[in-house]
Amino acid sequence: MDKAIFAAGCFWGVEAEFAALPGVSATEVGYTGGACERPTYEQVCGHRTGHAEAVQVTFDPAKISYADLVEKFFALHDPTQVNRQGPDIGDQYRSAIFTLSPEQEQTARAIKDKLQQSGRFKKPIATQIESAKTFWRAEDYHQQYFAKKGGGVCHF
């Protein structure tokens, strides 16, 4: 099994999209990319930590590749928006890929570059690609939120 970390706006919808993919064995939502330890939802939403709402995906690379996950990431949100997705505004909703290895970084950059050159997006892709910092698991009530609450969508 391998792991990947993505931030694409509200983590509830992002988690639901990744959890539905064949080859993904687990997902959990949390916070990463910021400066403080053990951030809370209130701190992250208060813009006091620099963390993004993110999803950590556990996957079987024999069933789904990291490249496939990155492609899905770019397909499920607007990567040209800066610090927002739809009605959700703030640095915690930024588009980012937090890589866990040099190979993941190389793959993510190659796919981002390919998409930018494709003309699919009218504006530059704003997605940040950076080495992962500590992933702090979000509070239990955020985990598998849509599965618990009966579906829904965020910005999709």
Catalytic residues: 10
Structure-token pair, residue 123? 């504006």
Query: What would you measure as the largest C-alpha separation in the chain, in angstroms?
Result: 40
Tell which residue, 73, 90, 70, 72, has the closest CA to residue 82: 90
Per the CB < 8 A criterion, the answer to whether 154 and 9 are in contact is yes
Where is 109: in which H helix or E strand? helix 102-118
The 8-class DSSP code of residue 61 comes to T
The 8-class DSSP code of residue 54 comes to E
Query: Tokens 């999209």 belong to which residue?
Result: 17
